[in-house]
Amino acid sequence: MAKVLSVSNQKGGVGKTTIAYNLAFGFARQKAKALLIDLDSQCSASMLLDNNAKRTTPTINDVLLKQTDINKAVQRSKGIDFIPASKSLASIDGLLTQVGKEYRLKRNIDDLMTNYDYIIIDTPPALSILTINALTASNYVLIPTTADSVALYGIGQLAENIEAIKEFTNPDLKIAGIVINRLNNTLLNKDLSNTLKLMAEKIGTRVFKTPLREYIAIREAQFHGRDIL
């Protein structure tokens, strides 16, 4: 039975896609069966896996709108399975209006649970119906952040929204932890990192001991369409 992990933060530019993308490859290298779902209308993870500007295969948008079966949307590229996003996701909030819309992704993912060890969801940088669907379908949420004051404020907002999700749609949701991304060695970053650890304690989670530093190799890997590993 798969464990479902959303990579989420309401602030953009903190590395959600980079982390989700490389996590999928990391699990695959450990011989685990992993599926990456791109739920962001920017389609960044989809383009890293298959830069198909004229995509004709089904996307997660088609699945959520009940226009295709989720099994038909699963693609394979570079050794991992993924479900691509669509730019049409940007307008899906106005289309998902039925009762139970928060559970649309979960009901579809249930059909895949026995096929994978891990399902990783790359979420959009907003508390939209897409993010609510992702958190409702997940066992865990991983919060990437940069060590800056704006990003820390975003974590506080996300923590409040996670509590609302636990109250109304997914009481079993857990915060896997916070990972610091794009860390450099400035004193300000170190001070903010300490503040982040205090914040993590308040919301009942942890900051992972290994921060992700600002490496040019990560950008080079993305430019060449490869994973960092």
User: How many separate helices (H) and strands (E) can be counted in the chain?
Assistant: 9, 8
Q: What is the DSSP letter of 121?
A: E
Q: Which two tokens stand for residue 74?
A: 């699963």
CA neighbor of 145 nearest in space, from 187, 174, 186, 178: 178
Distance CA 24, CA 173 (A): 20
* 136 or 14, higher pLDDT: 136
Tens digits of residue pLDDT in 35-53:
999 999 999 999 999 866 5
Q: Which two tokens stand for residue 136?
A: 């409702």
**Alpha helices for the chain (secondary structure H):** 16-29, 44-49, 60-64, 70-73, 104-109, 129-137, 149-168, 187-202, 216-223
Alpha carbon separation from 34 to 2, 62, 70, 78 (Å, rounded) = 9, 21, 15, 12
Q: What is the pLDDT of residues 56-80, one digit of tens each?
A: 789 999 999 999 999 999 999 988 9
Domains in the chain with CATH codes: 3-223 (3.40.50.300)
Which helix (H) or strand (E) segment holds residue 178: the answer is: strand 174-183
| Whole-number percent of the chain with pLDDT over 70 | 92
Residue 172, pLDDT above cutoff 90: yes
State how far Cα 123 lies from the chain centre.
4
**Residue 20, class by beta-carbon neighbours within 10 Å (0-12 exposed, 13-18 middle, 19+ buried)?**
buried
Whether 97 has a pLDDT exceeding 80, the answer reads no
Of the candidates 34, 35, 92, the one whose C-alpha atom is nearest the C-alpha of residue 62 is 92
Task: Give the pLDDT of residue 209.
Answer: 84
Distance of CA 46 to the CA centre of its chain: 13
**Mean pLDDT (whole number) for 106-128:** 94
Going by pLDDT thresholds of 50, 70 and 90, the confidence category of residue 220 is confident
Q: Please say whether the beta carbons of 165 and 37 come within 8 A.
A: no
- Per-residue pLDDT, averaged over 163-167, amounts to 95
Cβ neighbours of residue 55 under 8 Å, at least 6 residues apart?
Answer: 46, 84, 86
> How would residue 89 be classed by pLDDT, with cut points 50, 70 and 90?
very high
pLDDT of 142: 96
Read off the pTM: 0.90
Residues near 95 by beta carbon (within 8 Å), at least 6 away in sequence: 65
Mean pLDDT, the chain, integer: 87
pLDDT digits (tens, 9 = 90+) for 185-197: 665 566 777 788 8
Range 89-108 burial, b when 16+ CB lie within 10 A, else e: beebeeebeeeebbbbbbeb
The mean pLDDT of 170-193, rounded to a whole number, is 80
